Structure 1
Amino acid sequence: MNILITGVSAGFGKAIATDLVEQGHTIIGTGRRQHKLDELKTKLGDNFIPLCFDISDISATKTALQSLPADLLNNLDVLINNAGLALGLDSADKADITDWQTMINTNTLGLVNITREILPVMVAKNDGFVINISSIAGNYPYFGGNVYGATKAFVTQFSLNLRADLVGKNVRVTNIEPGLCGGTEFSNVRFHGDDERAKKVYENVDYITPQDIANMVSWLISQPKHININRLEVMPTAQTFAGLTVHKG
């Protein structure tokens, strides 16, 4: 298969790309850090094609995709919208507005940009698969989740609406909604490089790993084409959504 994955520089994207190349697929991997893409190219070889650009920039997205060979671009089988980030964990009244804007631009606008470019290709060949990486933050609010949770709720709802629009076009859509995941740069980015604070998030927890998510993606694309898995919500056993808070004055 020809598979486009956004955000392959680290975490989920890197694990997914590595697994799928090893399985014999051709991977187009996007990211903003050229040196990270170069490292993956060295590791994965000719079946990995790096594209360095910011998906929140629609012009850069178009230019990068148009740089691909036409026979590859017009024969994409799977789009995995993985690129995304969380910034800050302050309450909404104290949050940094630039953090909010960055999350909106990457998690929603960037995902929409690249999806809109690829969907016509899949519809034209009457075959394709879009896998979006959302989060349980889009389903269950938590303190400090504010805009990050809202962007992931957007991804979840967008995925459902894609399914509605793509009926009869043989293009599948799955939304993966992970809970607490370690072994990524997620919390390091959220806490603006405070590695010690990030480390504490995962202490004494048997969390979800990037490999776990990569395994799910491999399973999804191996399913028969007449089957569409709408949503996969996954948490570590140690995590739950229970526990409504009541403040008593």
Structure 2
Amino acid sequence: MAMVVAAMEREARTAGAFVTVSSTMAASERQLETVRLLRALRPRALVLTSSRFMANALDGRLLKELDSYEREGGRVVIVGETDMSFDAIGFDDYGAGCSAGAFVAETGHRRVAIFGGVPELRNMALRTTGFMAGLRAGGIDERDIRVVFCDVSRQGGFDAARRLAEEGMDGVEAVLAVNDAVAIGAMSGFRAAGVVVPEDVSVTGIDDIPLAGDVTPRLTTVALPLAQAGVEAIRFALEKAGTGKRLTLEGRLIVRESTRTRV
């Protein structure tokens, strides 16, 4: 999210606008409270960023608040999945998962673990579903795919990797992590347990955060155009009126040293 916000700030400066940021930690009640507070300050636009904004959230109270704000002349733009009628920018999380899963299958891995398959986080669930589809399309039997539920964080990845290593790896040759933070944590967990990446197990992520290219080994990942999302969000926000348009941004596989081909 920091990459999205940084791009928003740069783009806003070119248009003579100013960006302020408030973190709600994806808590619906806090999102509603923040929108109400910001409405009182009469900003030119509100850009909401989260994995999912649904019209029925909080019994429709958030939608009602945003509708009222637009009727008063404001602009609402959402970065993330939504069924609301505001302009929105999203990512092809399912496609990113498919790309990573297909790559792991194509490089000869036949027993795979997915780290962070959290059903309550819509974008992470879509990535997990995409992983499964890509792996199956590459000829991997579903019985050889293990979904490991863990916190979507570096610590969550670390703990999941340590548990898997303590169990003897169960034949797992590759780990697909729902984001780079989980993947980087997993690599640390494997290192602490004496499991070598990528010789013993390949690891991939999604997002391509800056740290992905700095860790050792450098992380194979699907790069999502996070900065582009920030730029487009500001462009949408500075337009005179919303039309309910949707923009979906696709990822790009970046192969680095955390994965290897198995024969």
Q: Which structure is higher in strand share?
A: 2
Larger radius of gyration: 2
Q: Which has the higher contact order (CA 8 A, sep 6+)?
A: 2
Q: Same fold (TM over 0.5)?
A: no
Shorter-chain TM range is 0.3 to 0.5
TM-score normalised over the length of structure 1: 0.42
TM-score normalised over the length of structure 2: 0.40
